[in-house]
């Protein structure tokens, strides 16, 4: 006969906070949090982002300060998104050694050295005037193979500026291999690649597109980002990226894709990252602003669930705040 009620009572281990804490299966560490930041060229003061309360487009000065604060709080990494003053069809600012992202990466390195892992998001959508993630053909589609050349050269520019790691997010086929080859050829054999392997065509990127000014002018990203209906396809993307040399893999967004995080974490032997994206941030902040849920508890619950699902690195706009809370 199997043991059960009334001898067995699961509530016994929930009686006090100390008991609950002792048997907790999941804990968050500041070092596994990564702060996404936006740096905008040519502004005198930080610009608030209306759909992301508390998040700004930084100036070079305010970004240095934010990086120092993140490092001070124990945050593990920072990922840089550049918003250039001028955009063109090729996204020329992406690989310009004097481009805003490269300047910001160098600034952060100057400020915190190796105190934060500095990741460079690698895509063209913030740099192109049409807002697409790559080179657009006259017919209006995103051309895979010519885009790879732009990514390869951008990766080199980012590594030269001091990025510890590059994170390709464009979902072009072969992008990890092309970037690996370029980095190795330029003497950056030891710069790892964190591949956004399973990046879904998600409605939850809405606020980010305001922040990064990278909404597509026409069409959408459904021909390269993944269909939210698919899970096995994510495993295939992860497999391909690992074969091309990815050192870490990322799932994005996080909360609607906890099952994908779990399946990937059970499959691979590299660290798994998850990106709690702008829309996840915005919907929680909006509900909290209305008094509809307990903001701080809800933030911790989402992050704990992403960790529990199997992500060991989490990108979140709350990184500094949460790192401070974890240390308090």
Q: Which residues are annotated as a binding site for 5-aminolevulinate?
A: 209, 221, 278, 317
Q: Out of 38, 127, 151, 205, which residue is the one contacting ligand PBG (CB under 6 A)?
A: 205
204-242 burial code (b ≥16 CB/10 A, e <16): bbbbbbbbbbbebeeeebeebbbeeeeeeebbebbbbbb
Segment interacting with ligand PBG (CB under 6 A) among 119-127, 174-182, 254-262, 290-298: 119-127
Between CA 145 and CA 215 the distance in angstroms is 22
Position 107 contacts ligand PBG (CB under 6 A): no
Among 251, 258, 290, 254, which Cα is nearest to 272's?
A: 251
By CB under 6 A, residue 197 contacts ligand PBG: no
**What's the burial of 6, exposed, middle or buried (CB within 10 Å: 0-12/13-18/19+)?**
exposed
Helix (H) / strand (E) containing 250:
strand 248-252
Residue among 311, 176, 151 nearest 241 (CA): 176
Residue 152 in contact with residue 120, Cβ under 8 Å? no
Q: Is 285 in the site for ligand PBG (CB under 6 A)?
A: no
Applying the rule CB under 6 A, the residues between 18 and 47 that interact with ligand PBG are: none
Residues in the chain: 328
252 is catalytic: yes
Q: Which of residues 115 and 219 has its CB atom nearest to ligand PBG in the complex?
A: 219
Q: Is 297 a catalytic residue?
A: no
**121 in contact with ligand PBG (CB under 6 A):** yes
Q: Which is nearer to ligand PBG, 123 or 306 (CB)?
A: 123
**Residue 125 binds ligand PBG, judged by CB under 6 A:** yes
> Hey, which residues does 83 pair with through a beta bridge?
40
**Residue 318 near ligand PBG by CB under 6 A:** no
Which one, of 328, 321, 275, lies nearest residue 298 by Cα?
321
With binding defined as CB under 6 A, does residue 157 bind ligand PBG?
Answer: no
β-strand pairing of 56-58 with 47-48? antiparallel
Asked if 63 interacts with ligand PBG (CB under 6 A), we say no
CA distance 77 to 34: 4
Place of tokens 């895979």: 144
Closest residue (Cβ) to ligand PBG? 208
- Could you tell me which stretch among 11-19, 148-156, 203-211, 263-271 binds ligand PBG (CB under 6 A)? 203-211
Binding mask 243-282 for ligand PBG (x = CB under 6 A): ----------------------------------xx----
Active-site residue list = 199, 252
Site residues (vs ligand PBG, CB under 6 A):
121, 123, 125, 169, 205, 208-209, 221, 277-278
């Amino acid at each position: 006969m199997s043991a059960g009620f009334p001898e067995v009572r699961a509530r016994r281990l929930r009686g006090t906070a100390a008991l609950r804490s002792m048997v907790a299966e999941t804990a968050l560490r500041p070092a596994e949090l990564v702060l996404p930041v936006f740096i905008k060229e040519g502004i005198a003061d930080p610009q608030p982002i209306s759909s992301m309360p508390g998040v700004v487009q930084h100036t070079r000065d305010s970004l240095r300060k934010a990086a120092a604060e993140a490092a001070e709080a124990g945050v593990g990494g920072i990922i840089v998104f550049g918003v250039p003053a001028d955009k063109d069809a090729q996204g020329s600012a992406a690989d310009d050694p004097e481009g805003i992202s490269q300047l910001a990466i160098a600034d952060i390195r100057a400020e915190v050295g190796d105190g934060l892992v500095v990741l460079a998001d690698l895509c063209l959508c913030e740099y192109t005037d049409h807002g697409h993630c790559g080179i657009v053909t006259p017919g209006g589609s995103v051309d895979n193979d010519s885009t790879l050349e732009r990514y390869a050269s951008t990766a080199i520019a980012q590594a030269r500026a001091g990025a510890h790691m590059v994170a390709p997010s464009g979902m072009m086929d072969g992008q990890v291999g092309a970037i690996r080859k370029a980095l190795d050829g330029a003497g950056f054999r030891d710069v790892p690649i964190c591949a956004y392997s399973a990046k879904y065509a998600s409605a939850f990127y809405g606020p980010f597109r305001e922040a990064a000014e990278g909404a597509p002018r026409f069409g959408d990203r459904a021909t390269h980002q993944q269909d939210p209906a698919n899970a096995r396809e994510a495993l295939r993307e992860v497999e391909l990226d690992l074969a091309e040399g990815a050192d870490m893999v990322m799932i994005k967004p996080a909360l609607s894709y906890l099952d994908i995080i779990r399946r990937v974490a059970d499959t691979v032997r590299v660290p798994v990252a998850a990106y709690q994206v702008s829309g996840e941030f915005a919907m929680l902040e909006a509900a909290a602003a209305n008094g509809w849920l307990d903001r701080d508890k809800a933030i911790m619950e989402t992050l704990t669930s992403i960790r529990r699902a199997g992500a060991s690195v989490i990108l979140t706009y709350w990184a500094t705040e949460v790192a401070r809370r974890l240390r308090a």
